[in-house]
Amino acid sequence: MAPLFTSDEIFEATGARAKDAALTSINSISIDSRELGSDALFVAIKGDRFDGHDFVETALTNGAVAALVSEGKAAGGRCIIVPDALAGLRDLARLARQRSSACVVAVTGSVGKTTTKEAIRTIFEFVGLTHASIRSFNNHWGVPLMLARMPAETLYGVFELGMSAAGEIEPLSRLVRPNIAVITTIAPAHLEAFESIEGIAAAKAEIFLGLEPNGTALLNADHEQIDLLIAAAKAAGVVNIVTYGFSENSDWQVVNLVTEGDQSKATVRHGENRFELAINVPGRHMVANGVAALAVSDLAGVDRDRAIAALAGFGAPVGRGQRMQLGEVGNPLLLIDESYNANTASMNAALEVLAQTTAPGGHKVAILGDMLELGPNSATLHASLKEAVLASGADRIYLVGDEMLALASELGANRVRLHVKTAAQLAEVILDELAYGDAVMVKGSNDVRLAGIVDAIRERFK
């Protein structure tokens, strides 16, 4: 396989000059001095908490062949100097996209971005060389980093695009230039930056502005903003618009859904065809994500039977519905890890899964953390979870965070076993109150740090 970039390509793409940078090629790119691949180029970007220029010497000592640095911040040898390191990274990303003949997919949405991206990746990897975003590298530095890492030989590329304010998705989409643009759903999220959910839909619709000519917009139809998205796609000149979901008018419609233990089975209708789909994770929302991946693969020309076979092995990513049976087979503790993020749509979906989950040997436990960045209506939105929590059948409810006070008040003291301000406070209590035979779901926004509770449960009951 050819190198990721030759030195000539790096200098031409970025307009860089070198300070003692005797390199011929690179095979990987990193912004973390602790995580360097072979023949790595370290890019010294300035983040919210750290400035990569402070770690250039460490990266070079740890094996980076060179460092891409901003003008005036070169440190020691083997530095490639550009006006701005992040802009230089975008230049490399742009070059990676220009030279690629891959089918490129970009995924955004209020809920389900990462799971849908992973489902698409699962299918594509089954049929050819695939490059996909890792974790949730979906912002102004994560997207160019992921795109710059895409080898020239790639057949399929899958990228996640995120945003917290209007105007953030358009430049990412114009950089990725997707052949297929997916919007998973629209829901209340990042409301601190928006006056309405329609504003969120308009911001997500920026993805259409980078869509390649003759590209396709693939839209989940199961939300009230679908007409707004279709209108936005048409206004952006998109001709090919395809819908999916449970909605009766969807091009890819789920007409039957059955949950059996840790598996979901569904009948999917597409035109005159009907076929069966099975994935290794329960939940209506998870099936919708799987159908999105199936529609993407069809648009990319993948054989449908092969795509369905690939999805049969698909399960939820870490922190997004992953299910773990801990302990003895006969009487395990079931842990459902939804700790990565939360808004009202994903919280309701997770509680629906909990409602379908049994705990024959113990308690059904819900550990729910704050849903952050919901703006002035946060209290109302948290309180609105009451019916879903009750319908889940959880007989032990633990709430974490100041915003959950509204839900605690709605549920009443007799239903909430414990409400604390921090995950650390709950961690001191929860391990002694759980037992084998329990079914436990942990759900909250990432910054509430419920992942630490997940790790503690796994360690105690392994």
- The H or E element spanning position 227 is helix 226-235
Is position 315 annotated in a ligand binding site? no
Cα distances (angstroms) measured from residue 367 to each of 48, 291, 323, 382, 401: 30, 29, 15, 14, 11
> How far apart are alpha carbons 314 and 24 in whole angstroms?
40
Residue 111 annotated in ligand binding: yes
Burial of 26 (0-12, 13-18, 19+ CB in 10 A): buried
Give residue 25's Cα distance to chain centre: 31
For 1, counting Cβ atoms within 10 Å of its Cβ (0-12 exposed, 13-18 middle, 19+ buried), the class is exposed
Distance between CA atoms of residues 393 and 461, nearest Å: 23
Q: How far apart are CA 410 and CA 349, in angstroms?
A: 20
Residue 457 to residue 455: CA distance in whole angstroms = 5
Is 409 in contact with 389 (CB distance < 8 Å)? no
Nearest to 444 by CA among 357, 351, 308: 351
Instruction: Assign 3-class secondary structure to 136-157.
Output: CCCCCCHHHHHHHCCCCCCCEE
Can you state the percent helix, strand and coil of the chain, rounding each to 5? 40, 25, 40
On whether 113 is known to bind a ligand per the annotation, the reply is yes
How far is Cα 200 from Cα 203, in angstroms, rounded to an integer? Answer: 5
Is 452 known to sit in a ligand binding site?
Answer: no
109 assigned to a ligand binding site: yes
Chain centroid, CA 397 distance in Å: 27
* Cα 335 from chain centre: 20
Pairing state between β 79-82 and 66-70? parallel
Residue with tokens 């489902």, as numbered in its chain: 119
Binding site per annotation, positions for ATP: 109-115
Point out the annotated binding site: 109-115
